Amino acid sequence: MTVQRKTSEEGQGDLPWQWQETKWRAIVNKVRAGRSLRPKTWKNGAQVCVALSFDSDHETGTLRDGEDSPGKLSQGQYGSRVGVPRIRRLLDRYDIRASFFVPAVVAKLYPEEQRALVAEGHEVGIHGWIHERNSILPPAAERDLQMRSADVLAQVTGKRPVGIRTPSWDFSQHTLAISREMGLLYDSSLMADDEPYEIVEDGKPTGMVELPVEWIKDDAVYFNMNRFSGLRPHTPPSAVLEIFTAEFEGALAEKGLFLLTMHPHIIGHRSRIQLLESLIRHMRAVPGVWFATHAEVAQYCRDNG
């Protein structure tokens, strides 16, 4: 589509296949994976590290689009009313601490939910203001929203967040600079590796830790439904369990990191929380697995990577 538009500008010399080498090199080098931060062994000699995360979008996916449909909003409320409690009970049952990335608007709508999570040892991290899309925001607005989001989480939970997952993993040209200005320990939105790495900006190491994500390890990819597009939950839970398990087994074989992104309003449903429990049982049965929050993993990697 972009290409279609660009061909009409033909002759201006600025179509991608006409770009000078300096141009495409600059684009590629803007934000880049640097040295691996995978430690020799994980904490207490663990063989594999498991970092579970839940993006508590709740109603903000709908609000962000400027929509007010009671039906769509009720799907979001499900995340808080049903999803988070089920997830908390499950994590408690298997003695696991996880990370919840929470938009500021969600923290204001459900402050008790965030406080309870922190009280139980879970991490609450930055996930934007109202699940805005960074790459279409004015840069000043992105900076303002990201900083205010951290303030809201600190006020609500009493703990200042040390990491960010950009909403929709939509990492803009400015996100890294903002996160560095805020002194964040880690980002978790990029995909250049399975293992933690140091982010490099314009060729210079930043000291910031990336805990990489991937669509493969995301519940929404398989279960999302959009009435007016072609998105459908075509993949049955058993197939998703197959994929997640294979990713974990690969991490185990390489003594690496298995990082999984989920959403309370998606994974929280009865037919899906079962798959998460099956996966957790499978992983719990492995000797030497370290379940940790993203903040713990990032800190450990920065110290030992």
Site for a copy of itself in 87-106 (CB under 8 A): 105
Q: How far is the CB of 200 from a copy of itself (least distance, A)?
A: 11
- Look up residue 244 and give its two tokens: 């997640």
The footprint of a copy of itself on this chain (CB under 8 A) covers a number of residues equal to 98
Using CB under 8 A as the binding rule, the residues of this chain from 242 to 271 that contact a copy of itself are 242-243, 246-247, 249-251, 254, 269-271
Phi, psi for residue 249 in degrees, rounded to 5: -60, -40
State which of residues 154, 177, 221, 286 lies at the interface with a copy of itself (CB under 8 A). 221
Beta pairing class for 197-201 and 186-187: unpaired
- Look up residue 11 and give its two tokens: 């002759």
Using CB under 8 A as the binding rule, the residues of this chain from 63 to 82 that contact a copy of itself are 63-71, 73-75, 77-78, 81-82
Under rule CB under 8 A, residue 231 binds a copy of itself: yes
Specify the residue, 24 or 94, whose C-beta has the smaller distance to a copy of itself. Answer: 24
State which of residues 92, 120, 181, 215 lies at the interface with a copy of itself (CB under 8 A). 215
Specify the residue, 184 or 240, whose C-beta has the smaller distance to a copy of itself. Answer: 240
What gap in Å lies between CA 265 and CA 83, rounded to an integer? 6
Specify the residue, 119 or 239, whose C-beta has the smaller distance to a copy of itself. Answer: 239
Specify the residue, 230 or 287, whose C-beta has the smaller distance to a copy of itself. Answer: 230
Spell out the long-range contacts of 280-288 with Cβ–Cβ below 8 A and sequence spacing 24 or more.
280/90, 280/94, 280/96, 281/94, 282/245, 282/248, 283/50, 283/248, 283/258, 284/94, 286/47, 286/48, 286/252, 287/47, 288/45, 288/46, 288/47, 288/48
Q: Are 164 and 179 in contact (CB under 8 A)?
A: yes
x/- binding map, residues 273-292, to a copy of itself, per CB under 8 A? xx------------------
Under rule CB under 8 A, residue 183 binds a copy of itself: no
What gap in Å lies between CA 220 and CA 45, rounded to an integer? 33
State which of residues 90, 137, 184, 267 lies at the interface with a copy of itself (CB under 8 A). 137
Q: How far is the CB of 229 from a copy of itself (least distance, A)?
A: 6
Under rule CB under 8 A, residue 145 binds a copy of itself: yes
Under rule CB under 8 A, residue 21 binds a copy of itself: yes
Q: Are 105 and 130 in contact (CB under 8 A)?
A: yes
Using CB under 8 A as the binding rule, the residues of this chain from 44 to 63 that contact a copy of itself are 59, 63
Instruction: Give strand ranges (E) for 61-213.
Output: 99-102, 123-126, 163-164, 186-187, 197-201, 204-210
Task: Kindly list the distances between the CA atom of residue 129 and the CA atoms of 107, 126, 237, in Å, as whole numbers in the listed order.
Answer: 9, 9, 31
What gap in Å lies between CA 256 and CA 67, rounded to an integer? 41
Total residues belonging to the chain: 305
Specify the residue, 122 or 206, whose C-beta has the smaller distance to a copy of itself. Answer: 206
Under rule CB under 8 A, residue 16 binds a copy of itself: yes
Q: Which range touches a copy of itself (CB under 8 A), out of 49-57, 119-127, 213-221, 281-289?
A: 213-221
Under rule CB under 8 A, residue 119 binds a copy of itself: no
State which of residues 43, 93, 232, 281 lies at the interface with a copy of itself (CB under 8 A). 232
Specify the residue, 97 or 111, whose C-beta has the smaller distance to a copy of itself. Answer: 111
